[in-house]
Structure 1
């Protein structure tokens, strides 16, 4: 693998306002360690990733046959801070972390000027043998190359409390969103309760509300080349669903889906269903209402009448490998074993609750036999397997932040009924174009 262009990289950093005075020197890639003991630096925002990698080092079924005997030095910090420090350290002495977990919303930062290819190893070749079996490539791809392996499919499903629907004499198995919105409106009118939530908080929360719906409908904010692709029928239908759900009370408006208001709505029973990714079961439902254990179930999402999927996505963390460190081959070997083997994927689920990113594993007994006690002993992988078979792909762009800012205010107008879906798209597109041109 060729090393990063020092002149190009420093020029890009200077253009980003990150080049410190005093002259930074970016080292060429060091010769890689080819076997034996090697110390690896792991940087992550989530202790579950630390626990997973550390457990893997002691698991013979995963490490059997490796030429390396790695040890880990872990640094934990906020995800955005870790990426900033990675870039800065690369500039300062050419020594970024060997393994870095990049939050999906942060990855567009390294799409600028193709920085990803300077910072990280190209993982395309180790992913290629898996073909379509490997999920969630799009958000970590640049110019057709893959630079991060996602830790979790983050499948968005419908969590619901069946007894609440039964009590109101309403079904929870509606096949389409039109049916579900009608049911949710009736439930809200009779009880004041809602079957979903949308955010009116910061721009990121507003954007994520839209993104989760757009992806399910079969759209994507950008195409594989990074071009904006929100002016579509899919986008209109996604926004229309949100607007109708807010208008009839089926969807509750909260400032932050991870904040106190959402937690209170779950705990009080004001929210009896919601569309969120798999990790929200732990961090949203169980964390806020542990006493509701056994009262929740999950199912695949109702379909849009116009098409799309029975699942969506939100969130994620892609793990990358440094392109320049001497331990890069050892780090790549470890990442492959933990992320691209059945044993590693099972360990990740047992240690951190991460859903497999290999589609075929959803049919394996180790997963299908799992019963989730918080979900009343439900064999949740029977539903996850259906979702994984129909999981949509989507792409991000170096200008993702510009779209996040552009759509915030129009989304508020959508909630209030002041703007139609088409007007939201037009205003967001105009704002985006002004930012990208400036």
Structure 2
């Protein structure tokens, strides 16, 4: 782990002292706070609406290009994979060029690509555009939290970050619902084009509303220091477990929601595209379960909460095998609740575990999270192609088993550490 002076050159997001009475940072009710909150909410909406813009449309894309579900799923995997690869370097670039500049540039590139996506002449071109779009969007999560940490008073920070995350959730849900209903009437190209126009509006309002940073201090790019910080995080057994848990939970979620449209368009359900898009309203359950994660940890402990999240997800996967639509929907509710609770527990534990380089620790978690999304989207579609919905469920259960296995290993490691601490010195 690098010394404190080196750490400061690679991140400015770490813990800060309590704000003095003369603190000029933003506070609820103060100048600029509402504008800042709305701006970042809109950025969150645009980011997740664009990132998953094709997920609810995969059956239509398959039919249009004459490709399999596994090939069409790459339009999702390429975007999340591009974000996963670029979130760490983007976090470093924001230290040099500024948070607002990085977020503005990222949104600008992403919305330009969004306006090109409807004109993709082939599935290969569509996948390439989506990869560029995902890489561009990596600048948002890499910079938004840092901007808030620098410009908002500590007591208001959790609320401010919550509004950005709420924008993510609303964008991810509404993007899928909007594209589902628009595509039902006018096709997938018009649907993603409409989402692109929505993102342009969000990006423009974001740039107008977001207050200029007043507390950002540019740093120098220091690849060696960044590398030492990253290696330090990756050498921590607990952080490695948390990264793996986040990736595995997202493998389940990405696989299920990438393939569910194919299942529901087939017999015995044969649902129209608009109704399938509305299935993503189930995301609202995740908002509730994520907000309850803190109470779960307080009552059950971190590992107990992870066991419960994994068990809930597994129960939902098994229930989704039913042929009755209400049972399938209930299965999706349980999968969504379990995923969001597990994700909230793991991601918050990363921030508490990392005592240095929290920005990089969070970026590594986001990388693992989106790698899981890419893996789930692709492997879930491959499993569906090979074994139908049962194949996708089997993949999900395997990932949940991985979460439980890693959590058990963590439990054993904690008990072993406790026994060592309990042994008196000299014995």
TM-score (norm 2): 0.21
More helix by share: 2
More strand by share: 1
TM-score (norm 1): 0.20
